[in-house]
Chain A
Amino acid sequence: MRLEVRGLHFSYTPEREVLKDISFDVERGDIFCVLGPNGCGKTTLLKCLGGILKPNKGSILLDGVEASTISRAEYAKLVGYVPQEHGLVFPYKTIDVVLMGRAPHLGIFSTPSEKDYRIAEEALREVGIYHLKDRPYVELSGGERQLVIIARVLAQQPEILLLDEPTSHLDIKNQMAILRIVTKLAEQGMTIVMSTHFPRHALLFSSKVGIMVGGRFIAIGNPEEVVTEERLKKAYDIDIKILTVKNPLGDRAIKVCIPVEALSGRQLVGGAWSRV
């Protein structure tokens, strides 16, 4: 499904606009990565796209259909949203959490059927945590929880997937697990919009990158072209070097970003680049 955004504005209070004139397109099977510093408006943008916040101005089009004309339940069937933080108060079992992804497909007075169970179990298998099915969600590790939420959004069977910093707080193995799934979903034809702190992920996994500063995109396009030292400095307000290294497993060269501070420091911190 094609996602178009035209002239989007959003503000919580009339004095301060959080999103200013945002426009972009994402095609079916694309991974659109939104980069930007804390507080630049990434999460707000995703919430607008997810239908959680109502934009003040501008339009969101799904395959050309204006989003505000779609009912909430219908919208949730098309667009899935994975929030950055999810606090569960009650110790639901993992399968119950995933089942909740079936909500948009169920009427107000219905409970999940056998079929919904199968879909939920399938989603768990797809992210590879079927064995955690009956464990209470609250007892899982951070990485497992993130996978559960992704399974839930898969059970929702949307065509557009919005992920708000899906890899933050995760160790490198779990980061890769998530990104692997995201890539796979894109290959299956899902449209993906994902915000991240890591320019590296944008460079490695996305087909399109937007750099957001102060509620505005300063550049959108091909990752190779968009992610430049100059723009990263503008975004994060520190000097960052982009190094091109040879991919030991393939032909294509890969790019990594490292803060200059880390390079010029007396000690080169071994893991520094993995942090950026």
Chain B
Amino acid sequence: MNGRIVVVSLAVLMVLVLTAWVFVYLKPWVVRMVALYPYTLSATFEELERLFEGENGGVDLELKPYHVREELYTLLDEGEVDIVIAEDLSVMEMLSENGYVNWYLEFATGDGGTAYYIAASRNSKHLEQALAFTQLLLSEEGKDVLREYGYEPVTPAMGFGDVPEELREYALEFKSVIDWLGRRVIVPKPVKRVVSIVPMITLSILMMDGGDLLVGVDSVSPTSELLTKVFPQIKNIPVAGAPWSVNIELILSLDPDVVLTTDRPMEVVKKFEELEIPVVIVPMGRLHCDQLPEAIRLIGKVIDREDKAEELASYCEEKMMALMNVTSKIPRSERAKVYIAISDGLKTHITYISRDIVWIAGGVNVAENLSGPAGGGPPMAAVSMETVLTWNPDVIITWDPKVKELILSDPRWAEVNAVKNNRVYVIPRGLRSWITPEPEAFLGAMWLAEKLNPDAFSFNFEEEVKLFYHRFLGYELSDEELSRILSGEYGVEIPGT
């Protein structure tokens, strides 16, 4: 009997003790959170912890410092984490890419320009509290603490990713983009004011329905006759210049969210960086054909037109593949030798695009081994009449109708195969010539493929062009316009006339 009482009372006592222990030590009503932060911020975050816990009774914030970023990843994998503080944008990007966080904010900068980021873990079970802590950090109270410890709060904070509703009043949203040269560029999200100083970029933007974002354009685009019909508003957009002659002050006054340009000359890019204008580099002029879709996607990402850009890019890829399926089987020796004639006929185009387009179309560019003047020089090379005669091209495509006329009227060209066999064609010109590195180049490839091997292809080319203009530019080409495009008659207006 006694034994039973002892056992029962012992059990009750144990339960009591256990309960007491649970209450005293485990505090089940207390919310326990974990925050990972760089060791260097210890003092600041201990202060913030006191502040946070004082304001939010029943919340226990556990601070786990880490010394190096590898340690951070281990900690994240080991246990539940609610808040992550990191010292570098690249860390946050890494976390974001690996799905640890959906958003992050830059909240302060320290000595030597170090930027500090905060994010709530995606797996956090205490999201509400994590957001509350973030709010505290971004509030005046939190900023005072940061200042006290020698950090400069970022006001408003810069938000990346899907910043939650609760935090939007504290932060402006941004996104970071890796441009063609691998530079990380931080641009506002969404981008509202875009300046492009490269014609091929301007065209790509228009084709992904980004025309309304343009606040400054290159000096060449407004001179294209067809472009001013397809997109008449271009006439009202201020001309910001070209890469080698930028109107920096005008661009500053346009207050752009981002400037898109090429890297030559690099000094201009440096200038933009100095002025803290986000500048994204897409070197359209020296891209290969198969790089063009990627460049289009990049531009789409920058101007928040990813879907349209994807549509355009995959259109280009599809067309390229369709042509390649047929033409890649043609051996080099059987390919038609193609010469591109510009200016007085003895200048030829030497961009990668002009080489690739001819190859994709099933020919081979006779000038494929020519290198032009290096260092951003003109994309043309001069050749002598004798060189052309030695090449003896089977097909000549000329830049405009005048060159064709010139070649046909000059006795020196008379014995060239292309002239003898009446295979001198004017390359079509839409928004720009169809052999410049912009999406229309793929129309150019189709056009040329049909000229080189009329039997091998069965697409309705004219419909294809109309469809392209309808789909990507929302413009219905008339038959007359189409025939002008195909005959290469669309001129370039001269600035100022």
Check A-B contact in the complex, CB < 8 A: no
Instruction: List residues of B whose CB falls within 8 A of some A CB.
Output: none
Instruction: List residues of A whose CB falls within 8 A of some B CB.
Output: none
